[in-house]
Amino acid sequence: LTAQVLQDGGRTILAAGPGAPSGKLDVIRQMPSVEVVPLPCAETGHLDLTALLAELNARDITSVLVEGGSEVLGAFLDAGLADRVYAFIAPKLAGGARALPAVGGEGAALMDDCALLEETECKALGSDWLLTGRVCFPGRQ
């Protein structure tokens, strides 16, 4: 309820699945610049991303920046819903047996099935790097 995206006064659409806490949603619905949009869940138990993008498209929103963690990014890739990637890479090696991967989700069983980045660019930003590219899915035009 204190997230900056809910407090900055800009128009915000909050997608909520059937299991979202109704008490919090009631408070959020009172915020003047926030609209709560109920959506179904996919078989994964997470929000149905295809339904989310269809809802946004119906509102003439045709470009979305997805900024999220491992599972959110993986879900968009698994569903084939990513067009471009902007990956910020720090010169640090983290990890461990319990560490989350940079991209979660189901992933590809074979290297030949992996999503590819084409038209890539890599740019230094201080000590970090920004890798960008167009996402191509095997077997699709």
User: Are residues 116 and 51 part of one domain?
Assistant: no
- Number of structural domains, the chain? 2
- Indicate the residue among 64, 83, 111 that finishes a domain: 64
Q: Count of CB atoms within 10 A of residue 75's CB?
A: 22
Full residue range of the structural domain in which residue 86 is found: 66-141
pLDDT averaged over every residue in the chain:
93
> Of 19, 35, 140, 41, which Cα lies nearest the Cα of 81?
140
> Of 58, 60, 40, which Cα lies nearest the Cα of 49?
40
Better pLDDT: 132 or 44: 132
Give yes or no for residue 89 having a pLDDT over 90.
yes
Mean pLDDT (whole number) for 6-22: 91
Mean pLDDT (whole number) for 44-60: 95
User: Are residues 58 and 94 part of one domain?
Assistant: no
- Indicate the residue among 13, 44, 64 that finishes a domain: 64
Q: Which residue has the tokens 């003439």?
A: 60
pLDDT of residue 44: 85
8-12, 31-35, 112-116: the lowest-pLDDT one: 8-12
Burial 106-126 (b: 16+ CB within 10 A, else e): eeeeeeeeebebeeeeeeeee
User: Are residues 54 and 11 part of one domain?
Assistant: yes
User: Are residues 80 and 52 part of one domain?
Assistant: no
User: Are residues 127 and 71 part of one domain?
Assistant: yes
User: Are residues 81 and 141 part of one domain?
Assistant: yes
Identify the helix (H) or strand (E) that includes residue 74.
helix 70-78
Residues sharing a CB contact under 8 Å with residue 55, sequence separation 6 or more, in sequence order? 15, 37, 39
User: Are residues 51 and 6 part of one domain?
Assistant: yes
Give yes or no for residue 141 having a pLDDT over 80.
no
User: Are residues 87 and 21 part of one domain?
Assistant: no
pLDDT of residue 7: 86
User: Are residues 15 and 76 part of one domain?
Assistant: no
